[in-house]
Structure 1
Amino acid sequence: MQIAMVSAECAPIAKAGGLGDFVQGLAHELIKSGEAVEVWLPAYDVLRRELISGLDEMGPRLQVHFGGQQIECRLLRGNVEGIPVLLFDPLSGHRFFGRSCIYGEADDAERFAFFCSAVLAHFAQLERPPDVLHCNDWQTGLLPVLLAEHQGEEAQARTCYTLHNVGYQGKVQPSLLEQVGLDAAALMTPGRLADPHEPGVANLMQGGIRYAGFVNTVSPRYAWEVQSTEQGMGLQSLFQENRHKFGGILNGIDESVWGPEVDAHIPVNFGPGSLPKKAVNRRELRLRLGLQETEKPIFAVVSRLDRQKGIDLIQHAVRYALAEGGQMVLLGSSLDPAITRAFESLKAELGSGPDCHLELGYDEALAHLIYAGADMILIPSLYEPCGLTQLIAMKYGTVPIVRRVGGLADTVFDAHYSDKSFEARNGYVFDDATEDALEGAMSRAIALWRRFPQYFRQLRANGMRGDYSWRKPAQDYLKIYKKLCALSVRAGTG
């Protein structure tokens, strides 16, 4: 099967968050299963081109209709750690992808609308188009719409559309639709792209949901939440209307990258059968961050710092961990200046004492060392479509303390209150987004760590033995792809 994964990110060459890990991990596993996969990606100027082998231009160049112009676009093909990649490089004064960043520009909607138009132009010229186009998030939400309007139902039926975060929907002015050659007047109806809550605004994610052959979120719990709770961010009825083609598939992690047995970033490799070696990594973590060597549990936060992640609860957790005789390590950064200032203030308040280190930035090697050395990791998210942090942490024997939302609820089972067998329990869970609820879970974890260390070790081992790989999710996606292929055949002969 020929599969094109269309995305704004792909680790390790273009990563701003979990989407990059998703594309890399799923592509690797599908290729291992014998499928022909290619990742289609904008040719950002910040791409880590040193990691792309055999990069070369392939012809012919595309002529992309955008904004009343024909914009020439190069296609560059290469390979990233065994994954074929196709890069779309527009030759235009707009410098769509020459901004020294992936996201964060005022014209992001126009940049990714151009990308969708370029993908459409490439698709149209192929003798044998891909069997499946796997689109991701609002940045590619226009692609199923463009395929339906310009290529017909057979092409539209090929699209799988994965939603990694419904909080970002791509709300734009209808004039953007005209820029990519669509009839805005025809599409700006409630049954198509007109946003249900903001009159006169086009919703790109809504368009992708309505037009794609299949739509999914990245965990079953989050699929239920966006249909049934405020986590649908205004699209609850849309998800309910499309439930016949909607579901949730839990993400995996790439164990060749995130596996303590093989991780090149940590001082000593270890696994479920050699858990005592984790202590060496704990000592190295303390040494690197200037923490004292002591009989205290190390709490950690490794997170993007934004409101979704429960930043007020994170700040409270830092203080509570220290007050209860623990150590605290935080690694995180924010695009929001107000949030950055808040954490800078917290760092200044706490200083660089022997039990606390706040690292405001992102350091890949340090993230690996934190997972390997910490005892517990805090994830008090207000909502969490899937979450990779808890999966990685458990693989490294670090016990998660999480709020019962989204993928966190699907993967973390409380040490005391879960209905799972003891061998399946792997962390601590709380429900309310309050300081009291967070403290309750943290205090239970601290008590077990201090009073019953053998049971705490069992929690670590339970988590490490879990299968968080891409093996099962990849098979679930393959089942969807096969259904889409059958749909496109029927649409082509209808």
Structure 2
Amino acid sequence: MELENHNDTEMFQESFQPPDRELEMKNSDIWKLFKDAQRNILYLNKQRLMAMEELNKTQREKQILIDRIEKLELGKQANMQQEKPAICSELLLRIDSLVLTGMISKGEASNFRRLVTENKVGLLDAFSEIWQKRDSELLEELHLFSDESKRKAFHVIHICTEMAPVVSVGSLGSYVTGLSWALQRKGNLVEIILPKYTSLDLDQVKGLRKVEAEFYSYFNGQSHGNRIWTGVVYGIGVTLIEPIFYLGLFNREKIYGYSDDFERFTYFSRASLDYLVKSGKQPDILHIHNWETAIIGPLFWDIFVNNQGLGSTRILFTCHGFGSQCLEKPDKLALCGLDPSRLHRADRLQDNSKRHLVNILKGGIVYSNKVVMMSSIHSKSRIIRSLSHGLEPTLSIHKEKLLLAPYGLDDTVWDPSKDKHLPAKYSADDTKGKTICKVALLQQLGLSRHASSSTTVVGCIYSNFTDVDIENLKSAFRLASRRGAQFIFMGTSKVESVNTALELFKKEIKVNTLLYFGYNS
């Protein structure tokens, strides 16, 4: 009996053991399957991420290729436009080198320049790889190139302190480059003379070359040596003047803003004229800019015109604003060879208010054949009356030679049909993308809550201008606001009082209606 009970108990226990082991085995199999599935999912996710990364990489490479193709197409178009003027400029600069090294006379140089400028059509066929040729080889080719052209072109030389993109601080640099390029594309010969600042972006200069001969210029009672560098920027011939003894004049961090700016730019102005004489250049027009090269006016008419074969040359003076005039003691004029007693007169350089000083900007106005005032919104009479900064008597006397020119822009740079930074592209023929750009602009400036895609947006842009007409600005803003338009102002002024007035005006109105901040491209 006990044996039977014992056997039954063992059988009972054994009957429950297999199911436990079976369940454990099943759980183990399920967990293994789960782990395998998890590994497969992780592997698939990893493969998917790798595929997405590869796809993104392919898309990036595709976009890079598209960008390169567009760049090559634009470069090809630009090269086609610049090739002729570039060849012309390179030849003329090499002619300068030939005369400075004594291989040809001034008369021969003048004839060669005329030959080049009057026969631009055949230059591409007659000359190639100019920079790789020795002076003797090039001279031989110039002698062979003797066809006469029927077309007469103007020879314009800018003597200035800025040229974009080599050196540009404000609006002057882009103005000089844009104007020079436009004139040269119309068949005129344009050259630019600049100081050789240490801060120049020389990567922008094609075929930069140091002339193996020095020339001397007058300053402070002595003749001083200068090095000449030549190159081409956007197809425009560029000459860089580097003082040797006065090397520190342009070996500085900034372009402007030093206590000896008068001495710096007076040295450069006199050296530029001495260089023209040394190289035998006889331009039709000398184009000077702002007070920094305004001293060239009196230098040219008092010293150079009668003795150096420049009798047919005329002076064009462009002034980007009358706020910066450079007042100095009359005796300082003698540094560049001028006679202070001759010029310190009311009808010449004497300042209209501080009569014990001379006004260099005034000298540029008095001694130039034509004076261009840059303004897109003011009339000639308003500039003379309200924005002349004490020069009203001088401008009134010389009113007949004053010209007004609006500011422009380089449409090869600022073109909404090609600009990759815009959220949508548009043009005069297809303006659909303009609304998208307008909405994006309002959102970026935090003004979208107060405007919609149908809101008219009035933009007012000042790029480092000297004069901002606050009253006209207020009137324009009020008119725009009354008509439900959004008004955006961007810019700053070199005159601190104007900046203060702008800040006060900003506080008078709703901040979300008008936005004012520094210039930003």
* TM-score range for the pair, normalised by the shorter chain length: 0.5 to 0.7
Cα distance, 1:340 vs structure 2: 6.7
Report the CA distance shift for 1:128/1:94 in structure 2 as closer, same or farther (over 3 A).
closer
Residues in 2 aligned to 1:346 and 1:335: alpha-carbon distance in whole angstroms: 17
Residues in 2 aligned to 1:348 and 1:50: alpha-carbon distance in whole angstroms: 45
Residues in 2 aligned to 1:356 and 1:164: alpha-carbon distance in whole angstroms: 26
SS at match of 1:309: coil
Kindly indicate whether the alpha-carbon contact (under 8 Å) linking 2:457 and 2:485 is maintained by their aligned counterparts in 1. yes
Cα distance, 1:233 vs structure 2: 3.5
Letter in 2 for 1:7: C
Residues in 2 aligned to 1:306 and 1:25: alpha-carbon distance in whole angstroms: 18
In structure 2, stretches of 5+ residues that fail to align are 1-153
Residues in 1 aligned to 2:351 and 2:330: alpha-carbon distance in whole angstroms: 10
In structure 1, stretches of 5+ residues that fail to align are 365-494
Letter in 1 for 2:310: A
Cα distance, 1:151 vs structure 2: 1.5
Tell me the equivalent position of 1:184: 340
Report the CA distance shift for 1:91/1:284 in structure 2 as closer, same or farther (over 3 A).
farther
What does 1:8-23 align with in structure 2 at a 5 Å threshold? Answer: 8-23=161-176
Report the CA distance shift for 1:320/1:151 in structure 2 as closer, same or farther (over 3 A).
closer
Letter in 1 for 2:520: D
What does 1:335-354 align with in structure 2 at a 5 Å threshold? Answer: none
Superposed CA offset, 1:23-42 (max 9, x none): 12211111110111111122
Cα distance, 1:325 vs structure 2: 7.9
Kindly indicate whether the alpha-carbon contact (under 8 Å) linking 1:226 and 1:233 is maintained by their aligned counterparts in 2. no
User: More helix by proportion, 1 or 2?
Assistant: 2
Tell me the equivalent position of 2:33: none
Report the CA distance shift for 1:82/1:340 in structure 2 as closer, same or farther (over 3 A).
same
Tell me the equivalent position of 1:386: none
Kindly indicate whether the alpha-carbon contact (under 8 Å) linking 1:4 and 1:132 is maintained by their aligned counterparts in 2. yes
Letter in 2 for 1:309: V
Residues in 2 aligned to 1:357 and 1:264: alpha-carbon distance in whole angstroms: 25
Kindly indicate whether the alpha-carbon contact (under 8 Å) linking 2:387 and 2:467 is maintained by their aligned counterparts in 1. no
Cα distance, 1:284 vs structure 2: 3.6
- Which has more radius of gyration? 2
What does 1:219-298 align with in structure 2 at a 5 Å threshold? Answer: 222-226=379-383, 229-243=385-399, 245-286=401-442, 288-289=444-445, 292=448, 295=452, 298=457
Q: Do structure 1's residue 198 and structure 2's residue 357 form an aligned pair?
A: no
Letter in 2 for 1:100: E
Q: 1:309 aligns with which of 468, 472, 477?
A: 468
What does 1:339-418 align with in structure 2 at a 5 Å threshold? Answer: 359-360=517-518, 362-364=519-521
Kindly indicate whether the alpha-carbon contact (under 8 Å) linking 2:373 and 2:404 is maintained by their aligned counterparts in 1. yes
Residues in 2 aligned to 1:310 and 1:243: alpha-carbon distance in whole angstroms: 21
Report the CA distance shift for 1:47/1:349 in structure 2 as closer, same or farther (over 3 A).
farther
Residues in 1 aligned to 2:294 and 2:403: alpha-carbon distance in whole angstroms: 17
What does 1:424-435 align with in structure 2 at a 5 Å threshold? Answer: none
Superposed CA offset, 1:132-162 (max 9, x none): 2111222111112112222224636421222
Q: In percent, how many aligned pairs have the same letter?
A: 28
Q: Do structure 1's residue 163 and structure 2's residue 322 form an aligned pair?
A: no
* CA RMSD in angstroms, aligned pairs only: 3.7
Letter in 2 for 1:200: H
Cα distance, 1:249 vs structure 2: 4.2
Q: Do structure 1's residue 125 and structure 2's residue 284 form an aligned pair?
A: no
SS at match of 1:272: coil
Report the CA distance shift for 1:256/1:119 in structure 2 as closer, same or farther (over 3 A).
same
Superposed CA offset, 1:34-89 (max 9, x none): 11111112222333333222222224323232233444322222222222222222
Tell me the equivalent position of 1:65: 218
What does 1:447-462 align with in structure 2 at a 5 Å threshold? Answer: none
Cα distance, 1:179 vs structure 2: 0.9
Letter in 1 for 2:253: S
Report the CA distance shift for 1:237/1:343 in structure 2 as closer, same or farther (over 3 A).
closer
Residues in 1 aligned to 2:501 and 2:402: alpha-carbon distance in whole angstroms: 39
Report the CA distance shift for 1:62/1:287 in structure 2 as closer, same or farther (over 3 A).
farther
Structure number with higher relative contact order (C-alpha < 8 Å, ≥ 6 residues apart): 1
SS at match of 1:253: coil
Cα distance, 1:181 vs structure 2: 1.4
SS at match of 2:323: coil
SS at match of 1:47: coil
| TM-score between both structures, scaled by the size of structure 1 | 0.62
SS at match of 2:281: coil
| TM-score between both structures, scaled by the size of structure 2 | 0.59
User: More strand by proportion, 1 or 2?
Assistant: 1
Superposed CA offset, 1:100-154 (max 9, x none): 2222222222221111111111111022332221112221111121122222246
Tell me the equivalent position of 2:262: 109
Bigger Cα displacement from structure 2, 287-296 vs 135-144: 287-296
Residues in 2 aligned to 1:3 and 1:217: alpha-carbon distance in whole angstroms: 19
Residues in 1 aligned to 2:479 and 2:368: alpha-carbon distance in whole angstroms: 46
Tell me the equivalent position of 1:35: 188
Kindly indicate whether the alpha-carbon contact (under 8 Å) linking 2:466 and 2:495 is maintained by their aligned counterparts in 1. no
Q: 1:56 aligns with which of 189, 204, 209?
A: 209
